[in-house]
Chains A and B, each alone.
Chain A
Amino acid sequence: MINISNYIQKINNNNKKALSIFLTAGFPTKKDFVDIAKNVLNSGADMLEIGIPFSDPLADGPVIQYSSQVALENKINLDDVFEICSEISNYTDKPLILMGYANPIIKYGTKKFCKNSVDTGVSGLIVPDVPLEEFDSFYNQDFSQLQKILLTTPTSSNERIKMIDEKSEGFVYCVSVTGTTGVRNTFDETTFKNLKRTYTTLERNKMMIGFGISNSENVKSFIPYCDGVIVGSAVIKMILEKKEMNEINSFISNLSKACKL
């Protein structure tokens, strides 16, 4: 297991914000996923978030919903996800983070889930439908070896942000806007005010911003208020549109350049 917080700190020490890329496991196929993930890592992604497909992803917009549906049609289950993790962690020293909804995890069994995560080189876990209120009911002792990453949103009060900062490990995932995942064309002033507020309120954790980030300009506008950014739907959309691998690679490498201070 990699200490994600220290890892981000090292990147920041080199005058750079961290770049995390989200991909849905098994999309567009199990094999292509692994190829794309390796390319994404080679092109400058500092971390990989691997989405566990779910039939009812209620925090996700149409693009990730669709990728999830395709992955399920490809019969991807958690055993496949762990095979994928194992293959990628053999390939890279960068952190892997799993992101998935609560139900498939409890159905798989939390003990087995956590053991397989650790064994296949997963460092962190994000469960978007487990907020602070359900933290203790969901994260039993089985999860002790995984860094549990919590989310803040524009509707989180400063008091809540502090409580989230207390519980979160690895980093705090700051959701840029209210809404589901997916590309946004513009971000308004309120968004930046909220990012600044969240960034200054956090005391313990690194902060990564996600949701809606789709290009280098977005990244540049966000980097004063964070330690890193997360891009998901924009990449998945390129895969969906059957863009060439080198086009995806240059997209990632541009994002990575934009992360430099």
Chain B
Amino acid sequence: MKNLKYNFPDKFGKYGIYGGKYVPETLISALQELEQLYLDVKNDIDFLSELESLQKEYNGRPTPLTFAKRLTEYFGKAKIYLKREDLCHTGAHKLNNALGQILLAKKLGKKRIIAETGAGQHGVATATVCAKFGLQCIVYMGEVDIERQKLNVFRMKMLGAEVVPVSSGSKTLKDATNEAIRDWVTNVSDTHYIIGSVVGPHPYPMIVRDFQSVIGKETREQILSRENKLPDYIIACVGGGSNAIGIFYPFINDEKVKLIGVEAAGYGVDTNKHCATLTLGEPGIFQGMKTYLLQDENGQIAEVHSVSAGLDYPGVGPEHSLLKDIQRVKYESATDDEALVATLFLSKHEGILPALESAHAVSHLHKLMPQTNEDEIVVVNISGRGDKDLNTIINQIGDKIL
């Protein structure tokens, strides 16, 4: 990591050997058009001020950086701060990206918006921006996820979106993504695909990262003004990895800030029911990118599991693959049970009900805190709120709560 001048992706959309554009030829012209437009507007003052004003007036940014007093006292070690993406409009960081991309879609003159969703948060964010800008919205969602995230399905429909159930494969996020890509291949001329994470073909991982980086930029300013120094640790959960890259990216060149990504270990990393892609996967090519994957001995994509629909994905953003290889980010994992316990833990100690996804990051505090000192600072990204997970929580641990 020493003296590394971090400047990725390169002009081919690669993060080291990862990333790229492994897609059918039909999509290449749309990806080129999107990339060109994005490069034209990313430093354009009018575009940026329109986005900033939406982030402020509509999304409620900047989100607070909350000092977690009781959590800090509980561990008696480093100070713990929580970055409150759960307070974004629609309840998660997903709107940061959806707002940016809807502005791009408008500039591209696309009238039809498609998206994939796992937990439903990205689907809700996309349905929300489509409602706000009056564009048609179609959201692909696996049948398993429709069942476990019913509330979000209703929300999307109330916002005017069409939710298309996906019954292929494992009926979860990866299959919803396949179906969205197939739709895009078919309707590419009038359709923009708002990918919800830092995955897929270039330029998506770059665009989504840039729009999510607002999380890290705010965190940096907020912690400097509160503590007059940078944090020692930043923890975020990693499925596709958008909230993590969003908070990590503005700190990448600050070598002293230790970055920790927490993957979903499902029933445990010693079982075959998990989503710990960076912990246990190996590089492969999937859904437009070269990246770490969970796959079988024949290169077939594995059926993965997590209690949290948003992390239930066998791949990961290509930039995380690079950050793992160069050891800039340390990737850990938390099981379903650990995440559920952490959900109650944060609720009872701070009055904040985190999304099951974010609870994976919270859970890592139990492993990290004993190694910290009182003069250190830990920031945990609370990527979303947990209201959407009440059904799952009741089913999993309802009896323990009552």
Contact = CB atoms under 8 A, between A and B. Distances in A.
Interface stretch (B20-28, B123-131, B383-391): B20-28
A129 B300 contact: no
A204 to B, nearest CB: 17
A107 B25 contact: no
A97 B288 CA distance: 23
B136 interface: no
Given A58-B178, A179-B185, A180-B182, A137 B20 contact: yes
A132 B185 CA distance: 17
Given A55-B169, A180-B186, A131 B298 contact: no
A58 to B, nearest CB: 5
A177 to B, nearest CB: 8
A133 B21 contact: yes
B28 A102 contact: no
A232 B225 CA distance: 63
Nearest to A179: B186
Contact of A108 (B12, B21, B299): B299
A69, A107, A153, A164: residue with the most chain B Cβ atoms closer than 10 Å = A107
B189 interface: yes
A234 interface: no
B29 A157 contact: yes
Interface string A148-163: 0011111111001000
A104 B290 CA distance: 13
A175 B25 contact: yes
Interface string A86-128: 0000000000000001111111100000000000000000001
A155 B26 CA distance: 6
B182 A155 contact: no
Contact of A129 (B22, B30, B175, B187): B22
A72 B174 CA distance: 18
Given A65-B168, A103-B286, A107-B295, A152 B301 contact: no
Interface in B181-212: 181-182, 185-189
Contacts, number: 115
A132 B17 CA distance: 17
Which among B20, B175, B187, B287 has the highest number of chain A CB atoms within 10 Å? B20
A131 B23 contact: yes
A59 interface: yes
Contacts of B285: 101-103, 106, 129
Interface in A139-186: 150-157, 160, 164, 175, 178-180
B298 A107 contact: yes
Contact of A77 (B25, B169, B298): B298
A56 B185 contact: no
B165 to A, nearest CB: 14
A27 interface: no
A116 B299 CA distance: 17
B25 A131 contact: yes
Given A55-B169, A104-B300, A131 B28 contact: yes
- Interface size on B, as a range, is 35 or more
B299 A107 contact: yes
B300 A131 contact: no
Given A153-B26, A180-B186, A131 B299 contact: no
Nearest to B168: A65
B160 interface: no
Nearest to B290: A137
Interface string B258-299: 000000000000000000000000001111101001010111
Given A55-B300, A103-B301, A153 B295 contact: no
Given A132-B28, A155-B29, A104 B299 contact: yes
Given A58-B178, A156-B29, A180-B185, A105 B24 contact: no
Interface string B290-332: 1001010111110000000000000000000000000000000
A72 B295 CA distance: 14
Top 7 nearest A-B pairs (CB, nearest first) are A107-B299, A104-B299, A179-B186, A102-B285, A55-B300, A153-B26, A77-B298
18 contacts: A58-B24, A61-B182, A78-B298, A101-B285, A103-B293, A104-B298, A107-B295, A107-B298, A129-B23, A129-B285, A131-B23, A131-B24, A137-B17, A137-B20, A137-B290, A152-B25, A153-B26, A155-B28
Given A65-B168, A103-B285, A130-B22, 6 more contacts: A101-B285, A103-B284, A129-B22, A132-B28, A178-B187, A179-B186
